[in-house]
Chains A and B, each alone.
Chain A
Amino acid sequence: MVDPKTPDPKTAEATKYLSHLELGEPDKTFLDSNELVINMGPQHPATHGVLRVILKLDGEQVLGTECVIGYLHRGVEKIAENRTYTMFNPYVDRMDYVAAVSNGLGYCEAVEKLLNIEAPPRAKYIRVILTELNRLASHQLWLGTHALDIGAMTPLFYTFRDREEILKIFEKYCGARLTTHAFRIGGCQYETYEGFERDVIKFLDFVPPKIDEYEELLTTNRIWLERTKNVGVISRADAIALGVTGPVLRASGVKWDLRKAQPYAAYSDFDFEIPIGTNGDTYDRYTVRMEEMRQSLRIIRQAVEKIPEGPIMAKVPKVIKPPVGEIYHSIEAPKGELGYFIVSDGSTQPYRVRVRPPSFVNLQALDIMVRGALVADVIAVIGTLDIVLGEVDR
């Protein structure tokens, strides 16, 4: 939305919606800089991939933004129509590649729902452990890059050091580190390896002091506070209206977490808190995510302690042919609500798969969050939205 004056009805409506942001009259000359339109990206160190943001600037002030996406479009949803349900499973890992486990979980559970089967409890527990570990890894990567965007270099290396431990566990479990393809429709393919629990417990003891270390560097740092407090504020109403989910929504004070709201996998068995913020600014999103890391640790500890014995795979037909019908299933991915809408025509291949990626929806909030802010805030807000372009573009 570069020029809010275009009489396009859609834009007009959006402008009406955003009218409380008091967009100034575009000025006439270069001096008043309405001509300063900057392409931030697609090659830019701080757009987390190949996002292109067209910024309209008045000096340093942002008058408007437009996100140009699609540079990483691989047609994941279309590919699904030409693959069997099983064959499509690895593809979902490539969407949000920093939280591949969550993607797989969402897809597998959606197909399971379509098939009307349920994974055995042990599989569900393994799923919870791995997903929460992955949430931790995703948040750590977010923290490192976010801090780097704001100019603090060091947390990046700390978080990568600790994320490495998680990736090691993944590697030992399923052989892959990033795009894990950990789950199968109907459960898990692999039994936990010898010493899995020991490794996880060791990690659980290892990581809390490290989280304190990140917080020590940032939480009370004056510059960090100034850079994040009251930056990229999104109100509760706006957040709900834009369909924002995940930590971004919770930082605005909405206690909405699918793990509690519509428990999936084995989440109903665990006791954990949903951290929420109050102001909906970048700092709140930061604190919410930091707290979420700790809550994840809590969940993992409970899961490891309570993990039941038993099979890890439900009885799944050799050829997966779901009945005709459609299903929407969503999970709480690290970035927000990750939903799969699958239409089955009764054949071995889905008729249509539509993914509701949290990053894509959250990215919408960028414009409303940065209007009237400064260029540096755009960077901070892109960082705080925690987008992964693989997921935005699919």
Chain B
Amino acid sequence: MQQIVQPGMQPVATTFFFYLLSGLTLVSGVLVITRKSPVHSALALIFGLLAQAGLYLMLYAPFVAGVQIILYAGGIMVLFLFVIMLVNLERSQKEEQFNRQWVVGFLAAIALGALFVVVYVKGKKLFPYHIAPPLENNNTQQIGLMLYGQYMFAFEIASLLLLVAIIGAVVMAKKRI
């Protein structure tokens, strides 16, 4: 059996896909916050998350992309949909969708955006264009080594956090314990 050499995956039509995926991400983001029906919002969010997984792939972060799909799209969003189905939302769909302070909120967010713009314009040279991409082939192994080496403690804390979240969710959602 000949050993197969695995060169790093070659990106194809990077520019096109970047604009396509980021466009999808942003459009779905807009849909998330504007749709009346939470299910439509959730659907938009799912598409956004998948597009974002594509962006991660373009950033040579396949493991994060995989985790994004399996955890976010396959796990968290199912949870969301599950709750939406359980909670009868018909009434809330007939009500006013935006709260009274929506102008203020919108302006504040825009101001924050302006701040970002200023920061990016000022600090543009901090972000060089061409960086040698990290070797994609052992990305997963490296992340694994870091998770269980350098970030061991944080990893354990995260598992503890999840445990707390499980207990918290059960306590909150259960009728009678």
Direct contact of A and B (CB under 8 A): yes
Binding site for B on A (CB under 8 A): 27, 29-32
Residue of A nearest to B87 (CB): A31
Give per-residue flags for B161-175: 1 if the beta carbon is below 8 A from chain A beta carbons, else 0.
Answer: 000000000000001
Residue of B nearest to A35 (CB): B88
- Decide yes or no whether B12 CB sits under 8 A from chain A: no
Q: Is the CB of A30 within 8 A of B175?
A: no
Chain B interface residue count, Cβ-Cβ cutoff 8 angstroms = 4
The residues of B that contact A27 with a CB separation of less than 8 Å are 175
Distance in angstroms between the alpha carbons of A30 and B175 in the assembled complex: 13
Q: Which of B79-121 contact A (CB under 8 A)?
A: 86-88
Q: Is the CB of B88 within 8 A of A32?
A: no
Distance in angstroms between the alpha carbons of A32 and B88 in the assembled complex: 11
B71 CB, nearest partner CB in chain A, Å: 26
Residue of A nearest to B86 (CB): A31
Distance in angstroms between the alpha carbons of A169 and B86 in the assembled complex: 56
A22 CB, nearest partner CB in chain B, Å: 14
Looking at A27, A30, A32, the one whose CB has the most chain B CB atoms below 10 A away is A30
The residues of B that contact A31 with a CB separation of less than 8 Å are 86-88
The residues of A that contact B87 with a CB separation of less than 8 Å are 30-31
Distance in angstroms between the alpha carbons of A31 and B174 in the assembled complex: 11
Distance in angstroms between the alpha carbons of A32 and B87 in the assembled complex: 10
The residues of A that contact B88 with a CB separation of less than 8 Å are 29-31
B133 CB, nearest partner CB in chain A, Å: 49
Distance in angstroms between the alpha carbons of A27 and B175 in the assembled complex: 10
Distance in angstroms between the alpha carbons of A27 and B86 in the assembled complex: 14
The residues of A that contact B86 with a CB separation of less than 8 Å are 30-31
Distance in angstroms between the alpha carbons of A31 and B86 in the assembled complex: 6
Residue of B nearest to A59 (CB): B86
Distance in angstroms between the alpha carbons of A30 and B87 in the assembled complex: 7
Residue of B nearest to A33 (CB): B86
Q: Which of B44-90 contact A (CB under 8 A)?
A: 86-88
The residues of B that contact A29 with a CB separation of less than 8 Å are 88
A63 CB, nearest partner CB in chain B, Å: 14
Question: Can you pick out 9 interface pairs between chain A and chain B where the beta carbons lie within 8 Å of each other?
Answer: A27-B175, A29-B88, A30-B86, A30-B87, A30-B88, A31-B86, A31-B87, A31-B88, A32-B175
A9 CB, nearest partner CB in chain B, Å: 31
The residues of B that contact A30 with a CB separation of less than 8 Å are 86-88
B84 CB, nearest partner CB in chain A, Å: 12
Residue of A nearest to B83 (CB): A31
B177 CB, nearest partner CB in chain A, Å: 15
Distance in angstroms between the alpha carbons of A29 and B88 in the assembled complex: 9
Residue of A nearest to B89 (CB): A30
Given contacts A27-B175, A30-B86, A30-B87, 4 further A-B pairs with CB under 8 A are A30-B88, A31-B87, A31-B88, A32-B175
A324 CB, nearest partner CB in chain B, Å: 64
Shortest Cβ-Cβ A-B pairs, 9 listed:
A30-B88, A31-B86, A31-B87, A32-B175, A29-B88, A31-B88, A30-B87, A27-B175, A30-B86
A171 CB, nearest partner CB in chain B, Å: 53
Distance in angstroms between the alpha carbons of A31 and B87 in the assembled complex: 6
Distance in angstroms between the alpha carbons of A89 and B82 in the assembled complex: 57
The residues of A that contact B175 with a CB separation of less than 8 Å are 27, 32
Residue of B nearest to A29 (CB): B88
Distance in angstroms between the alpha carbons of A30 and B86 in the assembled complex: 7
B92 CB, nearest partner CB in chain A, Å: 13
Distance in angstroms between the alpha carbons of A31 and B88 in the assembled complex: 7
